[in-house]
Amino acid sequence: MNTVGIVLQFLYQVLYVYYLLMIIVLLLGWTPLINTGIYRFLDRVTGVYLDHFSGKLVYRAVDFTPMVGIVLFRLVLYVIERALL
């Protein structure tokens, strides 16, 4: 595998872990664990990306905008994954 392939593989792995963390944060946001330190830490880490999508698509008390951000992030992961094949 060439250098570009190794870099893409590493980038994909890092972004995939970040993707999983975003999903965990969104799921924890619906539980009482929202008041824990681990949630606040993960929210700060994933908020770097997800905060750009906050509050734009709200229906009643539910904000669906972070789901749009996750779908777009997954699309980027898909493009990188296809480039690796």
For tokens 């929210």, name the residue: 43
More confident call, 72 vs 56 = 72
Strands (E), the chain: 58-59, 62-63
Q: Hey, where are the domains in the chain?
A: 3-84
Return the pLDDT at 77: 95
Taking the model in full, what pTM does it have? 0.87
How confident is the model over 15-67, as pLDDT tens digits? 999 999 999 999 998 899 999 999 999 999 999 999 988 877 888 888 888 88
Q: Which residues contact 18 (CB under 8 A, 6 or more apart)?
A: 46, 49, 73
